[in-house]
Amino acid sequence: MSKVGLFFGTQTGNTEDIAMRIQDRLGKDNVSVHDISEADTSDFAEYECIIIGCPTWNVGEMQADWEGVYEDLDDIDFSGKKVAYFGPGDQIGYADNFMDAIGILEEKISSLGGQTVGYWPAEGYDFNESRALRNGKFVGLAIDEDNQSDLSDDRIAKWTTKLKSEFGL
Ligand SMILES: Cc1cc2nc3c(=O)[nH]c(=O)nc-3n(C[C@H](O)[C@H](O)[C@H](O)COP(=O)(O)O)c2cc1C
């Protein structure tokens, strides 16, 4: 069984595409990918390590399928699990809410016992505000396919190298 469960939600496909690139980098045997719209909360229990992928939509909100399961996350025991986050956002179009969704999810999941790993520097982005910042760093990988898609491959490569060591893969 895989050590890592990656759970993503998407409206227009970017988060799914990034999820697959992350799985490729970490190794297909290590990572099982779930679309959150088809997953059950009991699926989370199977994994020692979790990756959460959620884009920000509608100005500072989670993607719709994550909105739908948000209350049900309370039923999951995240204690003892390492949890990493990623999401695409648009730092130019939504500069006051860049990457908010992973900040909202991280706040909830860490309150349920999840240990956040995979923090990511905020340098190299141009935005005003984000709910995803903790002590000046993003809670996870920030990808901007709208404005900086040329940087995505390198960002994914660096982040997954860091995650390999943090997850012990
Ligand atoms: C109506 C609308 C609202 C959005 N709101 C935000 C936002 O508040 N913050 C942000 O960082 N990105 C925002 N975005 C950008 C999306 O998160 C971005 O395009 C992302 O790549 C979409 O991911 P998906 O294809 O997986 O759904 C918004 C995009 C649209 C069209």
Q: What is the mean pLDDT of the chain?
A: 98
1/112 Cα distance (integer angstroms): 24
In the structure, which protein residues have their CB atom closer than 6 angstroms to any atom of ligand 1?
10-15, 55-60, 63, 88-90, 94, 97-100, 145-146
Please, what are the domains in the chain?
4-167 (3.40.50.360)
Q: Flag whether the ipTM exceeds 0.90.
A: yes
pLDDT at 1: 78
Query: From the CA of 89, how far away is ligand 1's center (Å)?
Result: 5
| Ligand 1, atom nearest to 145 Cα | 21
pLDDT at 121 over 90: yes
- 10-41 pLDDT, tens digit each: 999 999 999 999 999 999 999 999 999 999 99
| Ligand 1, atom nearest to 53 Cα | 26
Claim: this prediction has a pTM higher than 0.95? yes
- Mean pLDDT within 151-169: 98
Which ranges constitute the DSSP H helices of the chain?
14-26, 64-69, 100-111, 152-167
Contact 81, 48 (CB under 8 A): yes
